Chain A
Amino acid sequence: MQPYARLSIVSVVLTAVFITVNHVFTLGPAAYALGAVLVVLPVVLMWWFTATKSRVALAGYLLLNLWIIVGFGLINGLWDGTLRLFLGTLLSSLSTSYPRPLIGSYAFEASGLLSFIGSLFVLYYAARLIQAYRAERRGAAPRPVPARRIAVFAVTGVIALAATVGAYVYSDQDRWTAPSNGVVKIGVIVPTEGPYALLGTSFVKAVQMARDDLKDTRYRYELVIRDSGPDPAAAKAVIQKVIQDDKVDAIVGGVSLIGQVTQPLATEARIPHTCVCTVTSIGDGVYNFTNIPTPEAEAVRWVEEARKRGIARIAIISQDYPSINNHVKALKAEVARVGLTITYETHFDASVTEFRGTIAAAKASQPDVYYLEALNPRLELLGQQLLDAKIRNLSSVVAPSLSTQPELFEGVWYTDSNLRDIGFRKRFEDKYPGTQFATHMMPYAYDSFHMIVQAFERGENPAVYLRNLATYDGTADMLVKGPGSGNFKSAPAVWMIKNGKPELVN
C-alpha cells in the first residue's frame, strides 16, 4: 500500500499547488490560505492513516480528495477552465451566438488546466490506494484490474466526457428567450448628481424619450432608472441590485468610470450593456458595446477643420483632469502628425480662478487659435477672462456645448458629435424644456435604447443581435461596427455657438 499512499499524497500536493496558483488570480493572497488547507490537511491525515491504519483518517483523506477532484478539478479546472478556454474559443469562432470567452494570463489558464489534469491523477491514485487498502485488509496482494473493468471505466469516462461537452455546448449558447409577461426591463444606469448632473439627467431623459417614441411594439419596455452615483466603488452595489433584484434584460449606461464597473457584471449576467463611453476597452464585443466618437476621431476632425481655417499655431489652455488630459493627448498626437505647432500649453488645477497671467503668456506665443478645455465653473471663468482680454479666436472639443453660459463662447467653433437628425434636438427641447441638450451624449443614449428594442422586436437574443450588428442608422450619424468589435463608431462634426446656442457648421 505504501507506494500508492506516497503517489497519492504527491498528486494531491502538486494539484494543490496548481489550485493555489490559479486562485491567486481570483482570491488574491487568500488563495495561500486555501493552498495551506489543501496541502496540510491531506498530509496530516495521510500521516495519521499510515501510522495507525485508522479508517477515520482514510475517510477524511478521501473526502479531501473528493473535494479536490469535484470542486477544483471538474468544476473549476474542467468546466470553468479547460472547456471555457478550448471549447468556448472554438464555439465563438464558429458562431456569434456563442460568447467569446474571457481569457486570462497564461499562468492563470495553465494553472487551471493543470488543476484539472492533476485532479485526474488524484482520482487515479485514490482508487489505487483504496484497492491496496482492501487487499491489505484481506491479507492478499492487490489483484490486477480485469481488462473488462478497464474497458467499462474507459467507456464510462468517454460517455461522461461527451455528456459534459454536450452540456457545455448547450449552456454556453446565448439563446432567444421571450420576455416574461411580454415586459422587457431595461436598466438605465448613469450618475445624475455632482459633476455628472447635467449629462446624467439629460441622458436619462433621452432614453425616456426613446421609450416614449416607441409605437406598436410586440413587447412593453419598462425602464429601471438608477443613479449610480459618481463613485465607481459605490456604483457596483447599485448595478448589482439592478441586475439581481430588478432582473433587467439589458443595460443602457453612460460615463466610462461607471461603464468599467458595469462591464464585468453584465458579462457575468450575460445581458447586453451599451455604454456611451470613450474607453473603448469597455466595448468587448461580447456583452458590452460602446457608442460614441472616440477622442482620436474628435482630434482628427478638429485638426482637419483647423487646417481648413488656415490655423498653424495653437495655444492649449486646459484643466488638469484625467478625461481632459487624455483628450488633449489625442489632439496633440494628431497636431504633431500633420505638422502643426503648439505654441503654448498649460494645464491648470481645479482651484485656479485667475487666468489673466496664463492668457497673457499664451497671447505672447502668437497662436492662431486658443484651444480651451475645462469643466464648469472654470470653463466659464476662463471664458469671461478671455472675453475681457478681447480674445475671440477660440476653439475646443465639446466643452462649449456644456457651458452654463454659452454666450461667453459666442462665435467659438468646436467639434462635437454629429446630429444628422437635427429635429431630434428640437423634439428633445420641446419635450423637456429647461433641460440642456448635450449633443455628444443624447443621440447615442437614444440610439442605444433603440438598438436593444430592435433586437427584442426581431425575436433575437439582444447580445447576439448587437454582436452581429454592423451598421445602425442612428440619430447622430451612421454608426459602424467592425466584426467582433464592441465599438460603434461615428464621425464628429464641427459646431459653433451662434446666438448663445450650438449650431452645426457643416
Chain B
Amino acid sequence: MNTTRLTRMIVAVLIVAMLGGAYLIVARNDATRGAKQETPSGFFH
C-alpha cells in the first residue's frame, strides 16, 4: 500500500468515525431529553 492510498484510508476512517461519534452523541441526547413538546400547564404556568 503506497503512502497516498494509506493517507486516503486514514482520512476516510477519521471522517466515518467523526460522523459515527456524532450520531451516538445525538442519539444519547435525544434519549435523555425526550422528544415531547410541552405546553404550559398548571394554573397560568
Contacts and interface: CB of A to CB of B under 8 A. Distances in A.
Interface stretch (A103-111, A219-227, A424-432): A103-111
Interface in B14-45: 15, 18-19, 21-23, 25-27, 29, 33, 36, 38-45
Nearest to A397: B43
A331 to B, nearest CB: 11
B18 A113 contact: yes
Nearest to B27: A106
Contacts of B23: 106, 110
A279 B18 CA distance: 34
Given A110-B19, A117-B15, A279-B38, A323 B44 contact: yes
A279 B36 CA distance: 11
A145 B13 CA distance: 25
Interface in A265-283: 276-281
Contacts of A298: 42
A89 B43 contact: no
Interface in A348-404: 373, 375, 397-399, 402
Contacts of B40: 255-257, 277-279, 322-323, 326
A330 interface: yes
> Which one of A103, A255, A402 has the highest number of Cβ atoms from chain B below 10 Å of its Cβ?
A103
Interface residues of A, number: 45
Contacts of A303: none
A255 B43 contact: no
Interface residues of B, number: 20
Interface in A455-492: none
A256 B45 contact: yes
Contacts of B26: 103-106, 109
Contact of A277 (B15, B25, B45): B45
B32 to A, nearest CB: 8
A368 B42 CA distance: 23
Contact of A86 (B21, B29, B41): B21
Contacts of B18: 82, 86, 113, 117
B14 to A, nearest CB: 9
A86 B22 CA distance: 8
B41 A295 contact: yes
A226 B13 CA distance: 54
Interface string A169-189: 000000000000000000000
Nearest to B19: A110
A279 B43 contact: no
A112 B21 CA distance: 13
B25 A327 contact: no
A229 interface: no
A256 B38 CA distance: 10
A25 interface: no
Given A103-B29, A117-B15, A327 B22 contact: no
B22 A323 contact: no
A157 interface: no
Interface of A: 82, 85-86, 89, 103-106, 109-110, 113-114, 117, 195-196, 199, 254-257, 276-281, 292, 294-295, 298, 322-324, 326-327, 329-330, 373, 375, 397-399, 402, 440-441
* A-B pairs, 4 with minimum CB distance: A326-B41, A256-B40, A278-B42, A278-B45
